[in-house]
Structure 1
């Protein structure tokens, strides 16, 4: 059993440059399917939102002006996710780790002038045919009350023959779908990186992405889902309270894509597809029920 670490509280987000440097050093880790996953945790105290940064995020993601997107705290928390996974008791390398899913819930309207605490903890893990999935749990706290939460799921691929794949879920009931085509520019990774502080080389240039096995740079997953929200939010009567998304295949840059969506209750089911060939990049569900 590997002991969990409750790390000292932070008063500022860790700088991502040193975090990526430390992540490269984790390549020597040799985690196995049987490895114990420690429930490392850390809390950032006194987080305050920056209106200029929110505006820059909205602009690069194509979100309506004045929006506080469900995805925004997730982006802020990313350095904390790296911080808990970089601790020496965590058995897997961060290089090659794949972000595969998110479930995000907003429980109350946020006061953007207030101070919050942001807490991250390593959560459940499970063996899947492709490797080991690990959940990272994030909460935005007003005092002791969570006002926003997320479960981020990452995949560590493991050597060996993969097990049997689960049957795909049944398709949703037939309904009228709408389609919104848009183009994803070649430089979107470089434009999003200063806002998200995610300078992973797979997102920046074709040359740096090729070093990691990609034919071209790929879009940040959280940019892709936020760009989908930019198309969906203007059509909701009220602010969304829940977002589920599962990332499927990398979105190479540049690309032409189509957002396919259909109404469901107070929200939408949606898919982001390649315009040629129909390759599925992500699937999601947005619930618009926050009063």
Structure 2
């Protein structure tokens, strides 16, 4: 379809967007908007340095593969809290994330981002849509992210069985780390994602979680940092399914294939809980 674009000088104030998100609690329609948002966003060196420390990325002159997600987060927030967006932001569940690094992410002062939502599909628990974020430099497309989001309780025509991914094979342990009780608050301060389910046990219980849970994109980022020796600098995609949330605090174990152009990964917790599974491949 032909997509209309709204070009912005700068994203809206994040605090106002969170107020807008808090005010919408019900589904208001079953069609995604046919427009997207575009904006040039500059790298903030202090924020980038804080992100590297938080997620254990080295300062190697390149943006971490997950960092454009952080740069574009407010633009994503603005799209999904607009009056014509039919689903409440609070309550969306991040099921799947795929990041493609088309070319090396070095010597970047800013990127032109485009954000849109499409591919609304029925799901056994409601419906899903894809939130797509693309980043371009002067040459063209540099980076793309597709996040599949679940809208619980959405009723759509058609039927769809719940896709249950097979448990991944056993893999050699790569590393393990401890996700402490305040990692959700520390990630929020750096990345701006103040979803209550990540901030404290008290706020998480308001949304049906017995404890605060780690941000999925923090989990993916720290896994990507740990696997940087397994992956090329560019020309790859890394995709993950978020399975069971990481309750805070807890220890997790990252296992992965040997270094190569393609491979698999999994993140496990105690008690044979599978938190995340995925793979990387050339693009």
User: Are residues 168 and 141 of structure 1, via their aligned partners in 2, closer, same or farther at CA, if it must alter by over 3 Å?
Assistant: closer
Q: Which structure 2 residues correspond to residues 131-170 of structure 1 after superposition, within 5 A?
A: 131-143=126-138, 145-158=140-153, 164-166=161-163, 168-169=165-166
User: TM-score, normalised on structure 1?
Assistant: 0.86
Q: Secondary structure at the match of 1:102?
A: strand
2:17 is matched with 19
Could you list the per-position Cα deviations for residues 211-239 of structure 1 after superposition, in whole angstroms to 9, with x for gaps in the alignment? 22211111111001111112111344645
- 1:215 aligns with 210
Is 1:43 aligned to 2:20, yes or no?
no
Matched-pair contact (CA < 8 Å) for 2:129–2:150: yes
Distance 1:267 1:55, change over 3 A: farther
2:194 to 199, 206, 212: 199
- Partner Cα distance (1:182, 1:43) in 2: 37
Q: Who is 1:262 aligned against?
A: 257
* Aligned match of 1:99: 94
**Match of 1:52?**
46
Q: CA 1:165–1:260 in 2, change beyond 3 Å: closer, same or farther?
A: same
Q: Is the 8 A contact 2:231 2:259 kept in 1?
A: no
Seen in structure 2, the aligned counterparts of structure 1 residues 73 and 113 have a Cα distance that, compared at 3 Å, is closer
- The separation in 2 between residues aligned to 1:238 and 1:29, in whole angstroms, is 41
In the alignment, which residue of structure 2 is the partner of 1:244? 239
Structure 2: 5+ residue runs without aligned partners? none
Assess if the C-alpha contact under 8 Å between 2:102 and 2:235 holds in 1: no
RMSD value, Cα: 2.6
2:75 is aligned to: 80
Q: Which residue of 1 aligns with 2:175?
A: 180
Q: Give the aligned length.
A: 278
